[in-house]
Amino acid sequence: MILKSSALQLFGLIALLLGFQGYTQEEHGHHNRANQHMNQADFESLTRSFESSRRDSYQQPEKVLEYIGDVAGETIMDIGSGTGYFSFRLVEAGAKVIAADVDERFQEYIRIKKDRLGIPDSKLSLRIIPYDDPLLEPGEVDKVITVNTYHHIEDRSIYFGKVRSGLKPGGVLIVIDYFKKDLPVGPPKSMKIDRETIVSELRAAGFINIETNDTLLEYQFIITAR
């Protein structure tokens, strides 16, 4: 047991030196594998990929925002905001956005961009969050959106129970993630979570009215849960 503990501590140190930010000895399982897979690329490569025209072509952000509907005046948390791909677009659509992520590098990326664009904190704020808690106050937001992030989260029914508590009455959770099959984009098939599992986990989290759309986007489904 001492050897196992020492090995885990050594691996945690190596992972930190290699740039696997946020890794601790206690973190394990699915989200850790997904994050290690993502961080095989350096941070600059990740940001270029997240903001690329290739992503625009399959992510279809204009279609997604039209599908979500009018967000003017709403408060929205973007969980796993990354480079702020959707955060900035939601601000432009009139929402007040909380860009939430576990990775301080992405938070700094957004901070630099928002300052350059002159976006005030009242329109776009940053929130560093742990893996197991969105850190939402009760009834804090109208909507929560999480794009290509669901498969990074463990104990998801508990996590999204906390998300549900953070929604105002009538609030909506929007989950966008990859189909569980081999695709030219996204993580390996083994790391993806199928739509039916997500629906089941969200029901366990207390969501009742759940709708799915698997035709709007080529590689991803959309789940809305109220």
CA distances (Å), origin 20, targets 33, 63, 109, 148: 11, 33, 17, 18
pLDDT value at residue 48: 79
In 3D space, the residue among 43, 11, 39, 41 whose CA is nearest the CA of residue 27 turns out to be 11
The beta strands (E) that lie in 9-84 are given as 75-79
The reply to whether 68 and 141 lie within a common domain is yes
More confident residue, 20 or 92: 92
Global pTM?
Answer: 0.81
Predicted confidence (pLDDT) per residue in 59-112, tens digit:
999 999 999 999 999 999 999 999 999 999 999 999 999 999 999 999 999 999
The reply to whether 24 and 82 lie within a common domain is no
The reply to whether 8 and 51 lie within a common domain is no
The reply to whether 36 and 51 lie within a common domain is no
Please give the structure tokens belonging to residue 110. Answer: 């957004």
Average model confidence (pLDDT) for the chain? 85
The reply to whether 95 and 14 lie within a common domain is no
The reply to whether 58 and 72 lie within a common domain is yes
Asked whether the predicted pLDDT for residue 23 surpasses 90, the reply is no
Percentage above 90 pLDDT, the chain = 72
The reply to whether 56 and 145 lie within a common domain is yes
pLDDT value at residue 41: 59
In 3D space, the residue among 48, 43, 87 whose CA is nearest the CA of residue 64 turns out to be 87
Q: What amino acid occupies position 73?
A: G
212 strand-pairing partners: 223
The reply to whether 17 and 51 lie within a common domain is no
Asked whether the predicted pLDDT for residue 37 surpasses 80, the reply is no
Which has the minimum average pLDDT: 29-38, 58-67, 177-186?
29-38
The reply to whether 16 and 104 lie within a common domain is no
Asked whether the predicted pLDDT for residue 217 surpasses 60, the reply is yes
Predicted confidence (pLDDT) per residue in 193-216, tens digit:
999 999 999 999 999 999 999 999
The Cα–Cα gap between 142 and 169 comes to 8
pLDDT value at residue 192: 93
